[in-house]
Structure 1
Amino acid sequence: MEFPVKTANPVKTETPCLVIPVFKDGDLLPAAAKIDDASECLIQQLIERGDFNAKLGNVQMIPFAPGLPADRLLLVGLGERAKCQEGAFCKAVDAAFAHLAQMSIDAAAVTLTDVPVPDRDAGWKAHKIAESALRASYRFTQFKSEPAPAPSLAEVTLLISEGDDTDAATLGARHGRAVGDGINLARTLGNLPGNVCTPRYLAAEAERLASESAGALTTEILDEEALEALGAHSLLSVGRGSEEPSRLIVMRYNGADDANESPHVLVGKGITFDTGGISLKPGAGMDEMKFDMCGAASVFGTVASVLAIKPKINLVAIVASAENMPDGRATKPGDIIQTLKGLSVEVLNTDAEGRLVLCDALTYAERFTPASVVDIATLTGAAIIALGHHATGLLSNDDDLALDLLDAGETAWDRAWHLPLWDEYQEQLDSNFADLANIGGRPAGTITAGCFLSRFATQYPWAHLDVAGTAWNSGSQKGATGRPVGLLTRYLLDREDELRDTTIEGE
């Protein structure tokens, strides 16, 4: 999908559909006012007669545009002007593109950058517009024998009022397109069934990204023999009951001017299907355990976004991938395993397997002398109880890193919430027989899972994102969301800005 930016009068814009945002109260926005003047007060008449309610997220198609070269108008409600913050803007934009994606048109023009959002410029709004358009056009139909036609929308022109905003909007749209494509890649990987998306499939996906990157990305795939030689017995223990071999997937992007610049590391949990192992899950809803690799999927999506944007940073992406199945070789409750770090773990519940693959990956990350490490995992159902499906859980051993991630989430509108990582919680992981247990009981389950991981992240600034409540939707809208690709990409772009500022100060 293309996103050209134009400083143009909407009254003179030829397009199959012109998107006009409208507040419930106050004057029309500049573009809407021009359209209204040129169309004999069409918009005002619709509002005054009650034919259009500008409630937030409401849309109304006007199948004609008298006095205008546009074929149609799509009015989008913004709600009350005083309440128009980031969330309201994103909701309105999503509503507009959800409607456009259902139409048989190949192009549209939008005046959505007219909408005033406090502390957000034209670049931010252009980013959210491009990202929303791509998310709305996404369809997962590759296993349908007769798939519905894909959305035909191929070009969205961003009409801006101020010429000075052109560069910012163009850059924002480019970043939004990269993030939108990355989100959709993560959604596809998450939506694939477990009989297709296996650890070996994810390894092949890494190799595909590298082969299409023109040398910007390199990969290393550690198979079970290599993992055994390495000493990654914790990761291997999770996949022992499966016919599918486990993999540790490493992707490296070196974009910094200084090749020796410490990289930022992303670590993704890639459990391609989770039965719970011997601690078998209930049957109801178990099909959704194909989404247990959505942390890994978000890492792949972020790598794809980075390859499109090409920021001047160094990045290492690590995916610890296994399939958790019960058979005669599977790890049993009460087993004690040795981790790559040298700590022994008593496995009290084999369904707490994500932390067992991540702990070896976090230890492996030490070799890169990272500037920061962020792991992403669908780790605990407790995160859903604590935060629902709106916020990603965040735990960290470094307050500055936590704040950077929180800020990135606010900017990307892919938000997280900071939970404590106090020493008092660590006591819940005490074991009579090993260095630590892999669970700490029902109280504070998300926090004790973070405490477990923190034991393996002692050599660098580290944060953990628990996306169990945000990585996929259930019910009639079942499917992967692609979160937190937006947050992660924004975090990495902020690190590029930080590195640039430091370089300038040092000159």
Structure 2
Amino acid sequence: MDFELKSLSPTQAAQLSADALLVLVPDTAAPGKAAGGALQELVASATKLGDLDAGVAKQLACYRPVGIKAPRVVLVRVGDGSAASVRKAVGAGMGSLKQPGIKKLGLVLSLFDANDDAVRAAVQTCADATYTYTTTKPSAKARTVQQVVVGVENAAAVRGGFETGRALVTGVEFAKEWANRPANHATPTMLAEAARKLGRKPGLKVDVLGPKQVEALGMGSFLAVAKGSAEPLRFIVLHYNGAAKTSAPVVLVGKGITFDTGGISIKPAAEMDEMKFDMGGAASVLGTFAALAELKPAINVVGLIPSCENMPDGMAVKPGDVVTSMSGQTIEILNTDAEGRLILCDALTYAARFKPHSVIDIATLTGACVIALGGVRSGLFSTRDDLAQALQKAGDTAQDLCWRLPLDDEYAEGLKSNFADMGNVAGRAGGAITAAKFLQKFTAELPWAHLDIAGTAWKSGAAKGSTGRPVPLLLQYLIDQAAAVAPKKAPRTRKA
């Protein structure tokens, strides 16, 4: 989708050549923006007659209103104009603009003082509302809206938010594309090829390791999960270099199980098709790198994606088997369906070689996290308060919410084993936490955080499909970190 940012007063927006206008209307008009022009008169009349109630996402559709060039106009209330309100308002308004004839849309934010966050939310939500998966469904209609002109009072003042929004759209849609693909169209090899193609962009570099290289590294835990599949594993290593070589990178580790049957501890058949989404963490890392290539922040980032299938072949790892991880710690595999942590633990050990600023793993790890937080917030675990606070803040800013859960030492008691350094599962109670405690054993002194996205990476039912989360959270965190280390400009001094 082609987005363009323009300075458009309400009067200019009324004369914009477009197939439709989506106009965000605040509950209280901003000073100086209430008088004059066909658009303001339409809003004033609709409000006076009671056709446009106050309240976020309340809307009114109009056809060929007097004095407005676009034949279709949808007025939608945006409340106080906050990013959260903009997200709801644009989502509601786009629902009324899905006619085939709408190719060019004017998204008008000129009636309130839109800031960077509001503009970014508008761009991202507009793209979300029109996204269509077509890769393996050629009969599906491509998105109708092809061009969006975002009209604001002062384009220069919100250029940063607009550019971040465009980069986010690139990243989120990249993540959606690969998470939505069925497993036979998104094997570990295919995922690695997608990463290699992405690596051609300026500032990016990609290396892909195969089974022999992974074995040479001593990644026995990762290898154990991959044994049951005819598809060879891939370990994908991405680099984004936006800062000095001496600047410690942020390392993102994404779980890349391209299909999860549960292995020998096989899952029930119902809804097993959704286990193609079990590489949502990997997809989010790839999407974040796609966004980095567009936005080019001054930061170094490493992406690690251990990718394989979890299948119940005759070679598959069995409950009770003991494997040796790259860290040298041994693991008794009590449940082969707790495989995500088995591939992540070796990747976390590998991450230490980069002497990272922080390490964040992202995984559709536990059904227990879905029970705890549903599909609204991702689960956040961290050994560092500052890192947890930074991720929580980034999620709030990006409207990609997370919630911190505890890591008390007592939760690790259930991981004790008589036959290895640890088991890979504990009991049912606190399952999301005990999974995080398992991963913590491989992070030593690393500044580490874990995002459990099992409830947020995809939706089921009629809206089944990838959400692209948590690309917005991750990108915002990286933007914040880049800003934190950016050299401060010296104050200008007045010449005598």
Aligned pairs for 1:458-473 (under 5 A) are: 458-473=444-459
For residues 41-98 of structure 1, the C-alpha deviation after alignment (integer angstroms, 9 at most, x for no partner) is 433333444444454324332111202333332111335x5xx644322111222234
8 Å CA contact 1:344–1:435 kept in 2: the answer is: yes
Among 290, 294, 308, which residue is 1:304 paired with? Answer: 290
SS of residue paired to 1:251: strand
**Cα drift, residue 238 of structure 1:** 0.5
Q: Distance in 1 between matches of 2:324 and 2:488?
A: 41
For residues 414-440 of structure 1, the C-alpha deviation after alignment (integer angstroms, 9 at most, x for no partner) is 010001111111112111111011011
1:146 matches 2:149: no
For 2:435, the equivalent position in structure 1 comes to: 449
State the superposition RMSD in angstroms.
2.1
**Cα drift, residue 171 of structure 1:** 1.8
Distance 1:328-1:395 versus aligned 2 partners, 3 A rule: same
1:11 matches 2:11: yes
* Number of residue-to-residue matches in the alignment: 488
1:244 matches 2:237: no
Q: Distance in 2 between matches of 1:499 and 1:480?
A: 33
Aligned pairs for 1:319-468 (under 5 A) are: 319-468=305-454
Identical-pair percentage: 45
8 Å CA contact 1:123–1:170 kept in 2: the answer is: yes
**Cα drift, residue 33 of structure 1:** 3.5
Q: Distance in 1 between matches of 2:394 and 2:311?
A: 36
For residues 456-502 of structure 1, the C-alpha deviation after alignment (integer angstroms, 9 at most, x for no partner) is 01132000000000000000000000000000000001110011057
1:105 matches 2:107: no
Among 281, 287, 294, which residue is 2:273 paired with? Answer: 287
Q: Distance in 2 between matches of 1:137 and 1:31?
A: 33
Counterpart residue identity of residue 152, structure 1:
T
8 Å CA contact 1:113–1:158 kept in 2: the answer is: no
Aligned pairs for 1:194-273 (under 5 A) are: 194-211=183-200, 213-214=201-202, 216-256=203-243, 258-273=244-259
Among 19, 24, 33, which residue is 1:21 paired with? Answer: 24
Distance 1:230-1:39 versus aligned 2 partners, 3 A rule: closer
Counterpart residue identity of residue 99, structure 1:
S
Aligned pairs for 1:34-53 (under 5 A) are: 34=35, 37-38=37-38, 41-53=41-53
8 Å CA contact 1:20–1:32 kept in 2: the answer is: no
For 2:87, the equivalent position in structure 1 comes to: 90
Q: Distance in 2 between matches of 1:406 and 1:338?
A: 34
Distance 1:475-1:32 versus aligned 2 partners, 3 A rule: farther
For residues 279-323 of structure 1, the C-alpha deviation after alignment (integer angstroms, 9 at most, x for no partner) is 010110000000000000000000000010011111100001110
Distance 1:124-1:145 versus aligned 2 partners, 3 A rule: closer
Q: Distance in 2 between matches of 1:285 and 1:92?
A: 32
Q: Structure 1: any 5+ residue segments left out of the alignment?
A: none
For 2:115, the equivalent position in structure 1 comes to: 122
Q: Distance in 1 between matches of 2:32 and 2:312?
A: 61
Q: Distance in 1 between matches of 2:110 and 2:285?
A: 30
SS of residue paired to 1:362: helix
SS of residue paired to 1:283: coil
**Cα drift, residue 237 of structure 1:** 0.5
SS of residue paired to 1:3: strand
**Cα drift, residue 206 of structure 1:** 0.7
Q: Structure 2: any 5+ residue segments left out of the alignment?
A: 492-496
Distance 1:102-1:492 versus aligned 2 partners, 3 A rule: farther
1:135 matches 2:128: yes
SS of residue paired to 1:104: coil
For 1:56, the equivalent position in structure 2 comes to: 56
Residue range with higher mean Cα deviation, 385-394 or 41-50: 41-50
Q: Distance in 2 between matches of 1:7 and 1:142?
A: 36
Counterpart residue identity of residue 17, structure 2:
T
8 Å CA contact 1:10–1:31 kept in 2: the answer is: no
8 Å CA contact 1:272–1:293 kept in 2: the answer is: yes
For 2:494, the equivalent position in structure 1 comes to: none
8 Å CA contact 1:274–1:325 kept in 2: the answer is: yes
Q: Distance in 2 between matches of 1:39 and 1:355?
A: 55
For residues 400-427 of structure 1, the C-alpha deviation after alignment (integer angstroms, 9 at most, x for no partner) is 0010000000000101000111111111
Counterpart residue identity of residue 316, structure 2:
A
Normalising by structure 1, report the TM-score. Answer: 0.91
Counterpart residue identity of residue 104, structure 1:
G
Among 171, 176, 181, which residue is 1:192 paired with? Answer: 181
1:72 matches 2:72: yes
Q: Distance in 1 between matches of 2:52 and 2:100?
A: 20
Counterpart residue identity of residue 437, structure 1:
G
For 1:487, the equivalent position in structure 2 comes to: 473
Q: Distance in 2 between matches of 1:32 and 1:332?
A: 68
**Cα drift, residue 248 of structure 1:** 0.8
**Cα drift, residue 242 of structure 1:** 0.6
8 Å CA contact 1:101–1:136 kept in 2: the answer is: no
Q: Distance in 1 between matches of 2:32 and 2:489?
A: 41
**Cα drift, residue 40 of structure 1:** 9.0
Distance 1:180-1:40 versus aligned 2 partners, 3 A rule: closer
SS of residue paired to 1:177: helix
**Cα drift, residue 145 of structure 1:** 4.1
Counterpart residue identity of residue 361, structure 2:
D
Residue range with higher mean Cα deviation, 324-333 or 8-17: 8-17
